[in-house]
Structures are given as structure tokens and as C-alpha cells.
Amino acid sequence: MGLVMLALWLAEPAALAAAHPGLFNMKFNAALTFVVLGVSLWLVAAGRRKLPALMMVPVFIYGALALAQHVLTIDAGIDTLLNTPFVDIGTSQPGRIAPNTALCFILMSIAIARRALRGKNDIVQVALGFATFIIAAAALVGYAISLDFAHDWIRFTRMSVQSASCFVALAVAIVFVGTEKTGYNRLTIAAILGLLTYLILLAMAYYELARYENTFGITFTINGINARSTLSSLVLISGALYGALIVHLYFSSRQARAMAADLAESRGRLAAIIDNAVDGIITIDQHGIIQSVNDACTRIFGYEPEEMIGCNVKMLMPEPYHSAHDGYLGNYHRTSEAKIIGIGREVEGRRKDGVIFPLDLAVAKVELNGATIYSGIVRDISERKANERALIEANAELEEFAYRTSHDLRSPIASSLGLLGISKDMLAEGNTPALGQMLQRMEVNFRRLDHLIQNIITVTRTRLMEEDEGPIKLRVLVAEAIDALSHLDDFKRIRIENHVPAELTIVSKPSKFQVIVGNMLSNAVKYHDPKEAEPAIDVRAFRYGGRLRLSVEDNGLGVPPASRHLLFKMFKRLHPNRSFGSGLGLYILRKSAEALGGTALYEARDKGSRFMIDLPDGD
């Protein structure tokens, strides 16, 4: 509005002014001031602080001087300072603005400057905006109902329709933008503004009526009742009614705000619970389109929320669920036959990287505002399934262990009992040479029994024993293990080379590591090839990729291809005729490696075998 009026004043269209003089009721200075006010308010909205506050200084000074000219009946020389009017529109002085216009400029300059400096709304700004709105709105209504005093505070100088409209717009921005942060309800403020404007208009009408009666010496009556008395009653009654309405509106708005706050808090708590839930929560519409997901869905499926919302939920399913899902929904809508809805079951999901994993899925049907949605709760049960498989395998191993252990323990005992009975008979008959052979066979049985018991103890210790980690000099440990095997048959004819670097040290559990090295070496010594001219065993260790590998390579009997699937299992002797044993050695090796976070490996050679363990490198 200000820019348009500035353009008209600068263009000086005399013919237009003669035909429509009301277009020029807004003075040049007023138009320029409105432009400054509008730009300042825009800068405040953009986050600027100092510049709009400084721009309000000349606006305040202009308004104060313009108002002073009317109050003190002086001429400050500001009316035609920037522009001399090319047309006379019947004002008290060319270019002079009305006192109510000047007052509104003062009020608006203070309000905008305060908004700029504080960066937020407050009660002072609301009050200033109130006053400006009431003055400007009263002027506009005065034009509509021909109540001159509403816009003409003094004769021949009035607030123009254009100025009143601009002040209403500015006041609305000041009063209502950011008002909620001050704790005042916008609807209540609007009602109060309307009431005050109405009451002021009635008061102005009363004043105008009294002025006419005093000027012309007449009294206006209606059916013998004085009009001013009627108007006074109207002011009081309507004021009381509007006041009661505003009070009711105020308390209703407070109650509504409290309910809205409670609702927002409840929704916030619910959102926090849903977003922080361990399980994924997905809602879909009746067409299978995802409406919402919580944070757990991102962790479970690997998709960001915006990648899932708006897409069909079958994107999270592998085949055959992916292709059949829309058919499931359609069938349920037709027949109401539920396969998952309201029941829940284990299904499979597909992550963003294509990995398929097991899920627990529970789906509920929800009727909401006449629409049907489905909420699904999904839980990744990969770990549970892995634990179940491990438990089943452990139970199977335990059953086999119990059966084989009881059998292997009973066998030498039963044999020894039989030999003991024969020995008694020989002793009674005096057959001493034969009795010595029986005792030797009994000794072998008891040694087998002791070996089996030692292996059982080792298995149990490997599973249950807690042990602190410590530094292990690997070359020294290998050398000690080699010395501990020196009592075995044919040990001296086997060349055993320790290639482990002297400086190689690993941080691990010493007892378990000792079991690993001892089993690898004893296995290589026991199953060397007696026909080999130069039996050899080579021990090596090295680091790679944050891990440590220990290998024992021999040129012995090796493992027959048909028996390699039995490696590292309980009670599996791959060369029963070569050396007696319990068949637990490689099983103990595997379990000990796993207890240290590693794995046991086998690699066939052209002649012999290579057994390896890979362990985390705790250097």
C-alpha cells in the first residue's frame, strides 16, 4: 500500500486526483513511513535485530513531531519536507497527517523496535498492537457507518482508509504472531479486540450525538425516551454481555489449552515409547502401504523411515511371502479368514542388504475413523534361533557324550573284572607266568581308563573353567609341549621343527592354549607314518589381518577322505588300529579354540596333514 501511494504522489496524476480525490487521502510522508514499517517487520521476521530497531527511530520521531503539531498547535516543518502536495484534498495543512495516524505510528514504532530487540512477543507489544488495532478498526467502521469522530479526531484532518487498513494489518501481525509463546490465547485476544472496538464505537457514537445536541440545541428522542440514555444503556448492557462472553471464552480456551497440552504430552509419551521400543512397530493401510515405522524398524531391516513409508510392506519380505502378500490381504478382506492377523507366528524378513532372517510377527486390526489399518509388531529372533540351534547341538553332544563315556568307561572295567577272575584261578593253580601276562593286560585296561578320564576332565575344564588372560611366549610354549611328548613311542626318530619366531607373544588364556598346542602335537606324533623314512613335524605361527594362526604340519598317515567329515567330533578315532585313544583329542582341540574365540581347521597335504587354529590376536 505504501509503495503504491508513493508512486501515485511522485507521478502527480492531476486528472486522477480530480476524479478520485479519496485516493490521495494517505499523505506522501505517511506512505513512506508505512514502507519503512513494512520493511522493518520483514527484517524482524528474517531474524535481523539491530537494523529494524534503528529504522524505528525516525518513525517514532516523525510520529511524535506530527502529534505535537496538533497538540501544541505548532508547525514543525515536516509536512512538506520531502514532498509538496500537487493537489489540495481539503486537509488542515498540506501534507499533514491526522493525530490518530501520528499516534499509531508512535505505537507501532515502539512495538516493532521491541520485537526486534527481544526477538519474541511480550505483553507490552500485545498492548501496543491492541491500541493500534482499536484506533484503526474504529476509523474503518466509522467510514462504514458515517461516524466522523471515529476517524476525524479534529476537523479537516482524518485517518485515511488506506492508513487505517495498513495499521490494522500491522497490528494483527504484532498481536497474533508469536502470541501463543506468551501464554495468551489468540481467540481470546481476538474477542477482546472486537469487544473493545465495539464499545469504543458506541462511546464515540454517544459523544457524537451529544456534540450534535449541544451544537444545534436539540434533543434526540425515541418515543419520548432520550436517545443518549438509550445509547448509554446499550453500552452498559452490551458491554456486560460481551464481557461475560469473553470470560467464558477465556476459561474455555484455558481448558482447551490444558486438554491440548495433556494430549500433546500423552502423544509425546506414546511416541517416545514406540520409538524406543526394542521391537519394530509398523502400521499399514488396507492396501498394504506402510503408514508409519519406529526406530527399531531401521535397526532390524536397515532401511531409513523415509525409504519405507509410502511403500508396500512386502518390500520387507522374501519370497514366497513377497509375491503372496497382496493376495493374503485380499483374501482376508473377502473372507475374514485370518492366518496371521490376531494370531501371530514366526515368519522371515528381508533386510535392505538382501539378508533373510527369522522374525516373530504379531498383527492386529484397528478400526480408526472409519478406516482400517493394521499394526504389526516384529522382533528379530536371529539370536534366539541361533541359541536354540546351539542348545539342540549341545544336547545332542551331551547325549552322545554320556552314552559313549558310559560305554568306554565300562568296557575296560568289565574287561579288567574278567581278567581279575582268571587271575584268581591262575593264582590258585600256581600258574605264575601266565598270571603276569594277565596283570599286564589289566594294566593296559586301567591306563586306557585313566586316559579316558583325563580327557573327560579336560573337556569339562574347557567348558567350565574361568581363567584370566595373560601374555604367552608362543615359541617357549611349543618347546615345552614338545618336551612333554618325549616319552611317546618313536618320538626320537621324528624330526620336530619349531619355526615359531622367538619374539611372537599372544595375550590369551594359558591353560586352554596349552591344551591346544599339546593336542595338535600329540596327534601328529601318534599318527606319524612308521613307513616314512624321515617322519617330520613342522610348527609355525604368524599374524595376519588382526588374527594369529598356529599350524602343525606333518608327513604322517593323514586323514582318509571318507573320514574327514568326522574330524573334530567326539569319540571319532580315524586310525583305530594305529594308536589307542578315546577319540576326544580333536574334539577337545576344537572346543578349546572356540573357547578362545577362534576356530580349528584342517588342510590335507599331498602327504600327511596340516592342522591349524585361528585366534583373535590379543597382542
CATH at residue 511 = 3.30.565.10
553 is a domain residue: yes
Same domain, residue pair 104 and 18: yes
CA 608 → CA 112, 143, 524, 617, distances in Å? 93, 113, 9, 28
What is the reported pLDDT for 475? 92
Residue type, 166: C
As a whole number, the mean pLDDT across the chain is: 80
Does 187 have pLDDT greater than 70?
no
Residue-wise pLDDT tens digits, 100-151: 999 999 999 999 999 999 888 888 888 888 888 888 887 887 777 666 666 6
Residue 34 to residue 162: CA distance in whole angstroms: 10
Does 550 have pLDDT greater than 80?
yes
Choose among 170, 132, 151: nearest CA to 91.
151
Average pLDDT for 54-71: 93
Does 192 have pLDDT greater than 70?
no
What is the reported pLDDT for 355? 92
537 is a domain residue: yes
Confidence of residue 14 (pLDDT cuts 50, 70, 90): confident
Q: Looking at residue 332, which CATH number applies to its domain?
A: 3.30.450.20
Return the higher-pLDDT residue of 318 and 327.
Answer: 318
Which of 436, 464, 492 is the last residue in one of the domains?
Answer: 464
Same domain, residue pair 55 and 170: yes
Same domain, residue pair 365 and 389: no
What is the reported pLDDT for 286? 84
212 is a domain residue: no
Residues 283 and 373: beta-carbon distance below 8 Å = yes
What is the reported pLDDT for 500? 92
Residues 607 and 558: beta-carbon distance below 8 Å = yes
Residue 111 to residue 120: CA distance in whole angstroms: 11
Return the higher-pLDDT residue of 536 and 587.
Answer: 536
Q: What's the sign of the alpha-carbon dihedral 5, 11, 14, 16?
A: negative
The H or E element spanning position 171 is: helix 161-176
What is the reported pLDDT for 456? 64
269 is a domain residue: no
Same domain, residue pair 106 and 146: yes
**Cα 77 to chain centroid, rounded:** 65
Task: Transcribe 108-159 into DSSP letters.
Answer: HHHHHHHHHHHSS--HHHHHHHHHHHHHHHHHHHHHHHT-GGGT-SBTTB--
Average pLDDT for 582-602: 80
Cα diameter, the chain: 166
Same domain, residue pair 414 and 373: no
Share of the chain above pLDDT 70, in %: 77
SS3 for 387?
helix
Angle (nearest 5°) at CA 67 between 63 and 71: 165
Q: Omega before 320 cis (within 30°)?
A: yes
What is the reported pLDDT for 103? 93
Domain hosting 358: range is 280-380
Residue-wise pLDDT tens digits, 420-456: 777 887 777 777 777 777 777 777 767 766 766 776 6
Same domain, residue pair 512 and 458: no
CA 516 → CA 317, 354, 537, 554, 586, distances in Å? 44, 38, 16, 16, 9
What is the reported pLDDT for 211? 63
Place of cell 526486534: 116
Confidence of residue 408 (pLDDT cuts 50, 70, 90): low
Confidence of residue 67 (pLDDT cuts 50, 70, 90): very high
Task: Transcribe 53-70 into DSSP letters.
Answer: HHHHHHHHHHHHHHHHHH
Does 486 have pLDDT greater than 60?
yes
Average pLDDT for 3-27: 88
pTM, whole model, 2 decimals? 0.43
SS3 for 330?
helix
133 is a domain residue: yes
Same domain, residue pair 410 and 435: yes
What is the reported pLDDT for 364? 84
339: left (phi over 0), alpha (psi -120 to 50) or beta: alpha
Range in 56-65, 105-114, 331-340 the model is least confident about: 331-340
44 is a domain residue: yes
Residue-wise pLDDT tens digits, 81-93: 888 888 877 677 8
What is the reported pLDDT for 106? 95
Residues 536 and 495: beta-carbon distance below 8 Å = yes
Q: Which residues pair with 550 in a beta bridge?
A: 541, 613
Residue-wise pLDDT tens digits, 206-241: 566 566 566 656 665 555 555 555 555 655 666 666
Average pLDDT for 590-598: 83
What is the reported pLDDT for 605? 87
Which of 332, 362, 380 is the last residue in one of the domains?
Answer: 380
Average pLDDT for 56-76: 92
Choose among 66, 65, 37, 69: nearest CA to 53.
37
Does 198 have pLDDT greater than 70?
no
Same domain, residue pair 59 and 168: yes
Confidence of residue 180 (pLDDT cuts 50, 70, 90): low
Place of cell 617357549: 476
Same domain, residue pair 407 and 425: yes
Confidence of residue 579 (pLDDT cuts 50, 70, 90): low
SS3 for 555?
coil
Does 293 have pLDDT greater than 70?
yes
Range in 261-275, 287-301, 458-472, 589-603 the model is least confident about: 458-472
Which of 361, 380, 399 is the last residue in one of the domains?
Answer: 380
520 is a domain residue: yes
Domain tally, the chain: 4
Does 280 have pLDDT greater than 70?
yes
Return the higher-pLDDT residue of 278 and 402.
Answer: 278
Q: Looking at residue 449, which CATH number applies to its domain?
A: 1.10.287
Residue 188 to residue 239: CA distance in whole angstroms: 16
What is the reported pLDDT for 112? 93
Most confident of 376-385, 443-452, 464-473: 376-385
Same domain, residue pair 22 and 159: yes
Does 307 have pLDDT greater than 80?
yes
What is the reported pLDDT for 259? 82
Residues 293 and 376: beta-carbon distance below 8 Å = no
What is the reported pLDDT for 111? 92
Same domain, residue pair 293 and 165: no
Residue 124: all three cell numbers together: 507490552
562 is a domain residue: yes
Same domain, residue pair 339 and 414: no
